[in-house]
Structure 1
Amino acid sequence: MRKLASLVLGLSLLLSFSNVKADEGMWLLSLLKKNAAEMQEMGLKLSPEDIYDINNSSLKDAIVGLGSEGRPFRHFCTGEIISDQGLFLTNHHCGFNSIQSHSTTEHDYLSDGFWAYDKKEELTNPGITASILVSMKDVSKKVLANVKDNMTEEERYKAIEEAAVKLEEEAVEGTHYKANIKSMFEGNQYFLFVYEIFKDVRLVGAPPQSMGKFGGDTDNWMWPRHTADFSMFRIYTAPDGKPAAYSAENIPLKPKHHLPISIKGVQEKDFAMIMGFPGTTNRYLTSFGLEETMKITNQNRYDIRTLKLDIMKKDMLKDPKVRIQYASKHAGSANYWKYSNEQNKALRKLNTMANKKKIEKDFLEWANAKPKRAAKYGEALNMIEKAFADRKDAKFASSYLGEALGQGAEAPMFAGRANGLKKLLSAEKQDPEAIEKAIEKLKASAKRFYKDYNMPTDKKLMAGLFKMYADNIALEERPTIFKTIAEEYENDFAKFADKVYSTSVFASEDSFNKFIEAPELSVLENDLLFKAGLSIGKAYGAIYSKMSAGNENLQKGMRLFEDGLLQINKKKNLAPDANSTLRLTYGTVGGYQPKDGVYYYHYTTLKGVMEKEDPTNPEFVVPAKLKELYKKKDFGRYADKNGYLPACFLTNSDITGGNSGSPVINGNGELIGTAFDGNSEAMSGDIDFEENLQRCINLDVRYTLFIIDKFAGAQNLIDEMTIVK
């Protein structure tokens, strides 16, 4: 299904109708000619065609969108190709799940790092995809050709979907490419993206977690930063160069372009641009959506994950096996736990609510200035306000359901996957073949699930998060399993969890394996984890109905609101919100003043790593070999002119989730760093870009090369790259 209008609606323009800063904007590559003069004035030496060209090699051919086979167009991170053999860089936290999945207590790649000194040592990662953009095109007129103003939103959707599917099919007919049409400006524009999607992506290298996640949750979203946040992968193809699933016969990709790497370094005010696949920004969100985001989405996420992370962390510290099993889960949860809190702080400090209301006031004045405009746009904000008001309670309940139950204890949701098997077993006329297929599917799912599952930890998560959910959601609004807990266990959630995990066939891998060899309907029907999973699933369905009741008004209101803003600013170059499509942002290298009396320089060095070292804190442990290299000042050709080894640097470029791993490129088209974070003072940026504070935190490529070369001794990888001074 195509997303025509966002329900997680974005916060504001930051337009203020009169001033759009050059630093703000995630620009579509096919429209870069509008930005070219400004970029060249700032230091870009390339033409728009050098960046995006569908007929010749260009920078876009070196940019990789990381996704999954189930969601190849939803890119969770970005990578950049740095050799003519398909080698690409991304962030350590982007590769973290892959590194964790290959780790065991015997081969702890999280703690020790991983390096392939020969291509035969590279590790395959089933399910991960790497997309390279072939072309993009504005197809708004064709998509909207049969849309009429008097259509309902459902009728409008059907007309758009029919046209889009046809265009997608035509775009890739006779090729192995994949096409996807994406909505821009809440359904006011549509662009067709064509990709080549590769399915054989292998892990090549990653530093130890102590370096790749140096600073941990403490330093996350903070500056100064000293994190070596990178990992390396390689794309493989079939012998004919086309995408193919993993095979020993596959060969490294021969890319159309790879980025040369500059070790010249960066100076303040140097031009820098970032190309990548930003996930979601919400800069056109209204004050009504802002209130929901701050008071419900962010606050509930922060509160619930605080408890969840504490439970996981305590067990991870006690047992090395649990540490490995839950490393990726903890890191993923912690990232937006801190983000939510820091974003709320920034939004309050920057008085974003007042900015939103000012934009809305100006919009209404413009809309009501002429009768024809008033007829079309006059009710847009009222429609939006009513939709958010009507769904307030449902949104709160949905938020708690998703965070505390859907993403809490894992066993209930895994057990719920057996519902298909239950239906087959309870059928009046059973189908042995279908039952066997369902069993095999569950076995495959179980193998993945139990690898990173620890029963005592999951039991604690159930007891703690079920109780927190019950403390905040009325009994009649909860899944039906909570009625059982109230009536049979007197709301003693620890007692209930003890019973669940001591009796359920899903509580351990051994008990599941015994059950699945000869599954019985009566066992499933009486299993508490299965009942819990089913009841949570049904609650999702019920809450979705309540949440979607006002969707039509919300979608229409937002579409008209953003259309009006486009009309108001028709002489200006506006960027649509990020939606996981390839974008370019640009700015300059530079520090910033976060508060009175404080100024942050634009760079950090390895010296700061040593200053932060704390052997008693897992977040600030420094490997012995890194300390040895620092003591000897054995930095090779990667030191700056003063003899220091650079670590990270800042640019004032636009960035959001999905940009993680994006290349930072200088005016000559050379790689100078890898983007990996934003700064806490501007966590409002996804909603309201703050030009004086917004910074992108980047790993200096010289630190990356130093680690590959001096720390890991992976000369084979250095030899692949094109390194320029």
Structure 2
Amino acid sequence: MRKLYPLALATMTLLCPVFETSGDEGMYLFNDLPVDQLKSKYDFQPSQAWADALRLSSVRFNSGGSGSFISSDGLVLTNHHVASDTLHKLSSEDRNLIDDGYLAKSLDQELKAPDLELNQLVSIDDVTERVNAAVAEDASVADAAVQRRAVIAEIEKESTDKTGLRSDVVTLFGGAQYHLYRYKKYTDVRLVWAPETAAAFFGGDADNFEYPRYNLDATIMRVYEDDKPAELDHFLRWSDSGVSEGELVFVSGNPGRTQRIFTVEALKYLRDSRLPYVLDYLRRKEIMLQQFGLEGAEATRRARDELFGVQNGRKAYTGMLAGLQDPNTIATKQTRETKLRAAAQSDPDLSDTESAFAEIAAVQAEKKRMLGQTVTFRSRLFDLALTTVLRAAEDAKPNGERLREFTESGRDSLVQDLLSTAPIYRDLERVKLADELARFVESRGGDDQWVAVVLDGKGPRERAAELIEGTKLDEISVRKTYLDGTLDDIKRSDDALIELARKLEPEYRRIRTINEELDERERQAYAKITAAVSKLQGASGYPDATFTLRLAFGQVKSYIQDGETIEPATDFAGAFKHEAQHQGQTDFDLPPSWNQAQDKLDLSTQLNFVCTADIIGGNSGSPVVNRKGELVGLIFDGNIQSLTSDYLYTDQQARAVSVSGVGILEALRNIYGADQLADSIGK
């Protein structure tokens, strides 16, 4: 599963082009598509109308994934695992949507998501000159970071005030470019159909990141405006045939973060420090959530969505680390880096390139020292407390001086999250917070001054129970009171978690300031490397992924694994055969609805397929379209060979895995009895 797991965002966000490209590599900006490359390799030249229609038919999920509009009356297609956060929040002890699935047979049965936001990219403006002009040439690192943040906040607020659209300034090419992305937001999103997890995640963890696959990892939602289904001008038509070997396809989605520009020293930091740290964290959380689930069926349900995300992240990061631990990965990057540095040294205009590599190396040592220094405990209730405290303090400042997530342009999204109606389970929160406090003690040592502040003379479990008992932040009315209140109201609060967040605020800001300055140092260094790449190799290419809309392309293509040819497509017959071959293994049991409908299905209908398009986490839910711009598939995963794509791409074996569009229609009609829904798709 290629969902964007939150920890992926903790990696550095510096964005630059790769040194070289090969095969079908590339996550291209919609305002700089690889027209010449597509023309020369595939004899295809996308028109502006083709690109605009695809862009406006694509959406981003704030929960960490992608999707697409598939009808004129607001239907949205995405993955089941992208929608699982919403399915979990809409579930209860008496209604388990994740296990049992859901089908709304009329508009009044469509279930409103409590806090989901979808973003449609409307326009892109280059604001590079304005951002660069606001940062003084002789500014210190600290001052440069403040000046840059201020002008970005100013640009975003001006745009939001003028257009009413969500406005985000995106850093590209290591600070060489800054683009203003304007989005139309849809915040009334409702669930229409979701299959059972047994169909969506058929094969379970054993098949995750593997191929062949037989998954119906799809969900359909609908966007509303003014309490009515939205009327859309741009949506994807649906191909009535499956894909074939060698066919050119395109992926329009929001890849999360890549590190392809990273220097060898930066990759070694990831290999030796950052990724092992993340994996230790994930393994710990996996055990904690599994143990909580042993308390009963309801406990299992409450922890399931988060456990799934942790397990998926653990497997993905294991693959990433394995890629970096392969000596060939570092050797390949070292060859490219050596070539670039040698060329730069022979050019007088690029004399500062070598110092940029040295600066990045120095930053890695400092990042290693900071690793694990945090006071942000991963508990929903503590997150709400810390956000509440920071919000009040930041609102007292001019907009340009605020932390990025508290500026005026992001206010609506912040409020939506704070006032979410999603259930919060105190028993799960208590267990999660206790584990976080214990980890905090282990990381900092029992004699650390901040450990003393946090524990207040108690053990982690006792203190967590006290903190959860002493908060009312699970009540929406209480959160709204704080949201409407002032900094003085926060200071007077006797809520236990708010009191703790208030005490930790100085340490949080200290750590954040250090990390932001490290980011600024890296940004400036990578900008110098980018300048060298642009001069020596030209300015063409694509920036590292930023969880913003990109276009990738590739071929539907088989590959060789362990001496065996892996065919590109699977069908429904293969799914039932796969079930029979794994009889007795729970994760390989298709849901009863499938077995009951087996005689009605056209078993030769394509179910999954692979292609060489360049994707990573965040692309989950991305539409796959053909030359005509018709939807032929839905990205839901990559194979195990694709997990090095964060750092190094090759299309020799790496494949993006999709649900076939015709497979979704076959299932809707002949398994789920959703003919009316199927008839409305693409119209």
The amino acid that maps onto 2:51 is Y
Report if the CA contact (8 A) 1:86-1:236 is conserved: yes
Q: Tell me the residue number matched to 2:541.
A: 574
Report if the CA contact (8 A) 2:145-2:520 is conserved: no
1:221 and 2:193 aligned = no
Report if the CA contact (8 A) 2:18-2:543 is conserved: no
Deviation at 1:98, TM superposition (A): 1.1
Q: Tell me the residue number matched to 1:23.
A: 24
1:189 and 2:177 aligned = yes
**Secondary structure of 1:719's match?**
helix
1:626 and 2:594 aligned = yes
Report if the CA contact (8 A) 2:282-2:313 is conserved: no
1:282 and 2:270 aligned = no
**Secondary structure of 2:117's match?**
strand
Report if the CA contact (8 A) 1:61-1:257 is conserved: yes
Cα distance change on mapping 1:327 and 1:507 into 2, 3 Å: farther
Deviation at 1:507, TM superposition (A): 7.7
Report if the CA contact (8 A) 1:481-1:535 is conserved: no
The amino acid that maps onto 1:24 is E
Report if the CA contact (8 A) 1:271-1:666 is conserved: yes
Deviations 1:297-326 (A, max 9, x none): 221221222122122124335423223322
**Secondary structure of 1:391's match?**
helix
**Percent of residue pairs identical:** 23
Could you tell me how far apart the structure 1 residues matched to 2:50 and 2:419 are?
45
User: Which of the numbers 658, 662, 674 marks the counterpart of 1:698?
Assistant: 658
The amino acid that maps onto 2:450 is P
Report if the CA contact (8 A) 2:111-2:191 is conserved: yes
Deviation at 1:566, TM superposition (A): 2.1
The amino acid that maps onto 2:588 is F
TM alignment of 1:223-372, pairs within 5 A: 223-238=211-226, 247=227, 250=228, 252-349=229-326, 351-372=328-349
Report if the CA contact (8 A) 1:346-1:680 is conserved: no
The amino acid that maps onto 1:49 is Q
Deviations 1:186-220 (A, max 9, x none): 11012232322222211111011211222333322
Deviation at 1:411, TM superposition (A): 5.5
Could you tell me how far apart the structure 1 residues matched to 2:161 and 2:500 are?
46
Question: Is the deviation greater in 345-354 or in 334-343?
Answer: 345-354
Question: Is the deviation greater in 348-357 or in 106-115?
Answer: 348-357
TM alignment of 1:109-508, pairs within 5 A: 109-145=97-133, 149-153=137-141, 175-238=163-226, 247=227, 250=228, 252-349=229-326, 351-374=328-351, 376-398=352-374, 406-407=377-378, 451-455=423-427, 457-462=428-433, 464=435, 466-477=437-448, 479-481=450-452, 496-498=460-462, 500-501=464-465, 505-506=469-470
The amino acid that maps onto 2:606 is P
Q: Tell me the residue number matched to 2:51.
A: 52
**Secondary structure of 1:211's match?**
helix
Report if the CA contact (8 A) 1:326-1:452 is conserved: no
Deviation at 1:618, TM superposition (A): 4.7
Could you tell me how far apart the structure 2 residues matched to 1:512 and 1:670 are?
43
User: Which of the numbers 669, 677, 692 marks the counterpart of 2:637?
Assistant: 677
Please provide the CA RMSD for this pair: 3.8
Deviations 1:453-504 (A, max 9, x none): 252x55544555544554454345573248858xx56xxx5xx514652786
Deviation at 1:533, TM superposition (A): 5.6
**Secondary structure of 1:261's match?**
coil
Runs of 5+ consecutive residues of structure 2 not aligned to the other structure: 1-8, 394-413, 482-488
1:654 and 2:614 aligned = yes
The amino acid that maps onto 1:602 is P
1:709 and 2:651 aligned = no
Cα distance change on mapping 1:60 and 1:349 into 2, 3 Å: same
Could you tell me how far apart the structure 1 residues matched to 2:467 and 2:30 are?
57
User: Which of the numbers 575, 586, 592 marks the counterpart of 2:553?
Assistant: 586
1:67 and 2:62 aligned = yes
Could you tell me how far apart the structure 1 residues matched to 2:389 and 2:130 are?
43
Deviation at 1:678, TM superposition (A): 1.6
Runs of 5+ consecutive residues of structure 1 not aligned to the other structure: 69-75, 239-246, 424-440
Could you tell me how far apart the structure 1 residues matched to 2:299 and 2:477 are?
21
1:8 and 2:12 aligned = yes
Structure number, greater radius of gyration: 1
Could you tell me how far apart the structure 1 residues matched to 2:476 and 2:121 are?
43
Aligned length, in residue pairs: 644
Deviations 1:128-154 (A, max 9, x none): 222222222334345445666545455
Could you tell me how far apart the structure 1 residues matched to 2:56 and 2:385 are?
43
Deviation at 1:513, TM superposition (A): 11
Cα distance change on mapping 1:197 and 1:420 into 2, 3 Å: closer
Deviation at 1:182, TM superposition (A): 1.7
Q: TM-score, normalised by structure 1?
A: 0.79
Cα distance change on mapping 1:472 and 1:154 into 2, 3 Å: closer
Report if the CA contact (8 A) 2:639-2:657 is conserved: yes
Deviation at 1:384, TM superposition (A): 1.0
The amino acid that maps onto 1:599 is T
Deviations 1:396-452 (A, max 9, x none): 444xx66xxx22x555556667869999xxxxxxxxxxxxxxxxx99x969957x34
Cα distance change on mapping 1:546 and 1:579 into 2, 3 Å: closer
Q: TM-score, normalised by structure 2?
A: 0.83
